[in-house]
């Protein structure tokens, strides 16, 4: 079973997802902000990160993805990410970095391993998790 | 009536504007007249061999040029104030004086060139026309009176022998000027002049009133257009604000809804302990309602997003057949569950359409999901596409419950659900087809619907071909 980091600023969502994942015997760590997520990623070294992209400001999730892939310790940089998107639209997930040091050009898709609609039905969530971990 | 009075004042203003504008006419025309007199005098002498005293006439021509120099100086002084600054009263006095001077001068000229015998007397008419156009009606009649009096004075003084008659001997008997018939000429000339003034002032008056009416109308139209534009801007701003509020509200609603649905899922799936059958039933109902509400909020957001005119620069060539295949595979489970057969007819190498792939995905999803939803078990949904010179046409046809004719014009309205639709299934936000319409509009695509109640419905959307748009913008 896998170590999964759930990142969402809504504690109820985090709790619900934790229960679902633990029900399938995954080990779950949680974070409610990008900063906390960074700390947890380094501390826990998760096999997978479930990331709410809209928390709490629109770009925080995007910045976290960029930082993880480019600035964080080598051993965690390639951690797979599944984005929890409440927007059900990949267009909105095109990355437009606000900082000038952003390495993604406008309109590029996020370098993540999957998207899942929020709220995800328990089975859907588990399917996605095993799909990403299995692949 | 007030507008009419306004038009009169306005017409007067036009007359004033015309006078100040045309005041220079007199001076220019008079130079021509002076030259004309010289040419006519010499011409009459050599060609007609008429016995007119050329010296006196040349003196008159010189006189005309002389007083025209004065008027010319006056005109320049008036003009120096700037055209817009010329005062109407000044211009009027100036014009009246000039016309009067010309009439007197024409009288002198006539006297030296045969008096009543000379057909040049008809030249009084020119001044009447100019006076009628540029002056008020009363002034024009006053000038006509002056002209008639001047002519009558020439004839009268010549008959009385106060001034010597200069015979022309062109058309008339030498003693015609002393006959009573001479007065007939005076009478007919006077009548002609008065009639000219009457007719010309009537026509110009009416024209000016028309002009004033047209100007008033143009002003009114401009004012209305401005008001309309302002109202439109306000409406647009209100609409924008409304959309912003709705978006914010929807986003705010979605977070707690999402938490509610997720939490209920955990309970419903028995992840925190097995439920009694009744407990499970209630939780499932709550889950169903939460999902329904979630769908409504999502649909609303999709609708608002489509309405907010998606940026055209995001448009690209999209393979509609790929979109349809993806949507059909995503909806396959649902169609199976409803026992509805979904078939497609997509020609190989279908021309791509010009659009936003995400929105095109939404439009196809909504059309197909709608068709599946309103088709009873055992029915079929058929999706086809083809391209012609202009467009790529997508057609989604079903053998469903159909739409009553009176509902057809309203099916694209937001939150509108037909009676048959509501009776057939309680599920539905009434936003699906509004989204379809908004996306079609955003793509400049024409959408139409045909339906036979109890037989089925067919939606047709005509998208722009990507190659057409690309070559148009190139």
Q: How many CB pairs under 8 A join A and B?
A: 53
The residue with tokens 């309405």 is B307
Using CB atoms, which residue from A15, A86, A89 is nearest to B358? Answer: A89
Q: Nearest to residue A84, comparing CAs of A34, A128, A18?
A: A128
Question: DSSP letters of B4-19?
Answer: HHHHHHHHHHHHHHHH
Query: Residues of A with CB below 8 A from B269's CB?
Result: 20, 23, 122
CA distances from A48 to A7, A129, B347 (A): 11, 8, 42
Query: Residues of B with CB below 8 A from A89's CB?
Result: 305, 358
Query: Residues of B with CB below 8 A from A91's CB?
Result: 314, 356-358
Instruction: Report the C-alpha gap between A17 and B452 in whole angstroms.
Output: 47
How many degrees, rounded to 5, is the angle at CA A78 between CA A75 and CA A80?
Answer: 125
Phi and psi of B404, rounded to 5°?
-65, 150
Q: What is the per-residue burial (b if ≥16 Cβ within 10 Å, else e) of B304-336?
A: bbbbeebeeeebeebbbbebbeebbeebeeebe
Q: Do A119 and B356 touch (CB under 8 A)?
A: no
Q: Do A13 and B265 touch (CB under 8 A)?
A: no
Q: What is the pLDDT of residue A100?
A: 42
C-alpha torsion angle, residues B308, B312, B315, B321 (rounded to 10): 60
The residue of chain B with its CA nearest to that of A12 is B259
Query: Residues of B with CB below 8 A from A12's CB?
Result: 259-260, 262-263
Q: Do A19 and B266 touch (CB under 8 A)?
A: yes
Instruction: Report the C-alpha gap between B98 and B182 in whole angstroms.
Output: 28
Grouping H, G, I as helix, E, B as strand and the rest as coil, residue B463 is strand
Whether residue A11 has pLDDT greater than 60: yes
Q: Do A90 and B298 touch (CB under 8 A)?
A: no
Phi and psi of B465, rounded to 5°?
-70, 135
Tens-place pLDDT, residues A72-85: 888 888 899 988 87
Q: Do B259 and A89 touch (CB under 8 A)?
A: no
Residues of chain B whose C-beta is under 8 A from some C-beta in A? 254-255, 257-263, 265-266, 269, 271-272, 294, 298, 301-302, 305, 314, 356-358
Q: Do A16 and B259 touch (CB under 8 A)?
A: yes
Instruction: Report the C-alpha gap between B454 and B469 in whole angstroms.
Output: 39
Instruction: Report the C-alpha gap between B345 and B23 in whole angstroms.
Output: 81
Instruction: Report the C-alpha gap between B249 and B247 in whole angstroms.
Output: 5
Question: DSSP letters of A9-36?
Answer: S-HHHHHHHHHHHHHTT-EEEEESSHHH
More confident site: A101 or B5: B5
Question: DSSP letters of B372-418?
Answer: HHTS-TT-EEEEEEEE-SSEEEEEEEE-SS---GGGGGGTTSTT---
CA distances from B201 to B14, B138, B148, B206 (A): 14, 10, 18, 8
Written as six digits, the tokens of B36 are 């004309």
Q: What is the pLDDT of residue B343?
A: 94
The residue of chain A with its CA nearest to that of B272 is A19
Query: Residues of A with CB below 8 A from B254's CB?
Result: 86
Q: What is the pLDDT of residue A101?
A: 44
State the greatest distance between any 2 C-alpha atoms of chain B, in Å, as a whole number. 141
Q: Do B266 and A12 touch (CB under 8 A)?
A: no
Whether residue A14 has pLDDT greater than 70: yes
**Residue to substitute from B251, B252, B254, B262, interface A, most A β-carbons within 10 A:** B262
Give me the tens of pLDDT residue by residue for chain B, a chain 474 residues long: 445 555 667 666 777 777 777 777 788 888 888 898 888 888 777 766 656 667 788 888 888 899 999 988 888 887 776 655 567 777 788 888 989 999 999 999 888 888 888 888 888 998 899 889 888 889 999 999 999 999 999 999 999 889 888 887 777 777 888 888 889 999 999 999 999 999 999 998 899 889 889 999 999 999 999 999 999 999 989 888 888 888 788 878 888 888 999 999 999 988 888 999 999 999 999 998 898 888 888 888 888 878 776 677 778 899 999 999 989 988 898 899 999 999 999 998 899 999 988 889 989 999 999 999 999 999 999 999 999 988 999 999 999 999 999 999 999 998 888 888 888 887 888 888 999 999 999 899 999 999 999 999 999 999 999 887 765 554
The complex's ipTM works out to 0.79
Instruction: Report the C-alpha gap between B193 and B127 in whole angstroms.
Output: 9
Query: Residues of B with CB below 8 A from A19's CB?
Result: 266, 271-272
Written as six digits, the tokens of B183 are 């007065």
Least-confidence region, from A41-45, A69-73, B259-263: A69-73
Secondary element (H or E) of residue B32: helix B24-46
Q: Do A122 and B298 touch (CB under 8 A)?
A: no
Q: Nearest CA of chain B to the CA of A17: how many Å?
A: 8
Q: Do B271 and A20 touch (CB under 8 A)?
A: yes
Residue B28: strand pairing partners: none
Using CB atoms, which residue from A16, A87, A91 is nearest to B265? Answer: A16
Question: DSSP letters of B408-451?
Answer: GGGTTSTT---HHHHHH-S---S-HHHHHHHHHHHTT-EEEEEE
- CB within 8 Å of A62: residues ≥ 6 apart: A53, A95, A97, A110
The residue of chain A with its CA nearest to that of B362 is A89
């Amino acid at each position: 079973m896998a170590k999964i980091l759930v990142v969402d600023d809504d504690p109820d969502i985090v709790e619900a997802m934790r229960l679902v994942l633990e029900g399938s015997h995954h080990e779950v760590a949680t974070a409610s902000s990008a900063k906390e997520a960074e700390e947890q990623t380094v501390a826990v070294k998760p096999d997978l990160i479930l990331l709410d992209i809209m928390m709490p400001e629109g770009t925080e999730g995007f910045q976290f993805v960029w930082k993880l892939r480019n600035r964080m310790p080598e051993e965690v940089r390639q951690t797979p990410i599944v984005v929890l998107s409440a927007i059900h639209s990949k267009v909105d997930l095109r990355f437009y970095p606000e900082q000038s040091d952003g390495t993604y050009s406008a309109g590029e898709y996020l370098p993540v391993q999957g998207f899942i609609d929020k709220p995800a039905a328990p089975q859907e969530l588990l399917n996605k998790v095993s799909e990403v971990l299995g692949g | 009536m007030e507008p009419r009075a306004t038009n009169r004042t306005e017409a007067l203003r036009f007359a004033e504007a015309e006078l100040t504008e045309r005041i220079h006419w007199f001076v220019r025309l008079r130079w021509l007249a002076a030259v004309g007199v010289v040419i006519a005098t010499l011409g009459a002498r050599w060609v007609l061999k008429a016995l007119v005293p050329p010296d006196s006439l040349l003196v008159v021509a010189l006189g005309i040029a002389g007083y025209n120099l004065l008027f010319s100086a006056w005109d320049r002084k008036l003009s120096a104030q700037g055209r817009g600054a010329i005062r109407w009263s000044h211009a009027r006095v100036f014009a009246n004086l000039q016309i009067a001077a010309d009439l007197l001068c024409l009288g002198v000229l006539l006297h030296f060139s045969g008096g009543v015998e000379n057909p040049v007397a008809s030249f009084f008419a020119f001044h009447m026309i100019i006076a009628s156009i540029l002056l008020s009606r009363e002034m024009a009649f006053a000038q006509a009176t002056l002209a008639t009096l001047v002519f009558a004075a020439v004839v009268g003084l010549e008959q009385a022998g106060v001034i010597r008659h200069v015979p022309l001997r062109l058309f008339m008997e030498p003693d015609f000027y002393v006959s009573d018939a001479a007065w007939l000429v005076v009478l007919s000339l006077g009548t002609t002049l008065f009639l000219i003034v009457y007719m010309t002032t009537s026509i110009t008056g009416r024209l000016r009133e028309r002009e004033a009416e047209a100007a008033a109308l143009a002003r009114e139209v401009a004012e209305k257009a401005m008001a309309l534009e302002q109202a439109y801007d306000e409406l647009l701003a209100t609409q924008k604000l409304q959309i912003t509020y709705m978006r914010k509200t929807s986003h705010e609603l979605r977070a707690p809804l999402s938490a509610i649905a997720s939490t209920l899922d955990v309970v419903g799936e028995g992840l925190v302990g097995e439920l009694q059958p009744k407990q499970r039933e209630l939780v499932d109902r709550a889950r169903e309602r939460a999902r329904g509400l979630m769908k409504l909020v999502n649909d609303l957001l999709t609708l608002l997003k489509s309405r907010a005119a998606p940026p055209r620069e995001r448009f690209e060539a999209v393979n509609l057949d790929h979109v349809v295949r993806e949507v059909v595979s995503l909806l396959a489970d649902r169609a199976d569950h409803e026992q509805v057969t979904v078939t497609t007819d997509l020609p190989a190498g279908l021309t791509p359409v010009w659009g936003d792939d995400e929105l095109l995905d939404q439009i196809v999803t909504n059309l197909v999901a709608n068709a599946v939803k309103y088709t009873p078990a055992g029915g079929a949904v058929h999706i086809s596409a083809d391209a012609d010179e202009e467009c790529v046409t997508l057609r989604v046809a079903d053998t469903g419950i159909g739409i009553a004719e009176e509902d057809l014009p309203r099916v694209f309205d937001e939150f509108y659900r037909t009676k048959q639709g509501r009776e057939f299934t309680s599920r539905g936000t009434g936003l699906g087809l509004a989204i379809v319409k908004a996306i079609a509009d955003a793509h400049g695509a024409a959408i139409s619907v045909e339906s036979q109640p109890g037989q089925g419905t067919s939606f047709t959307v005509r998208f722009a071909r990507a190659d057409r748009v690309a070559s148009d913008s190139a």
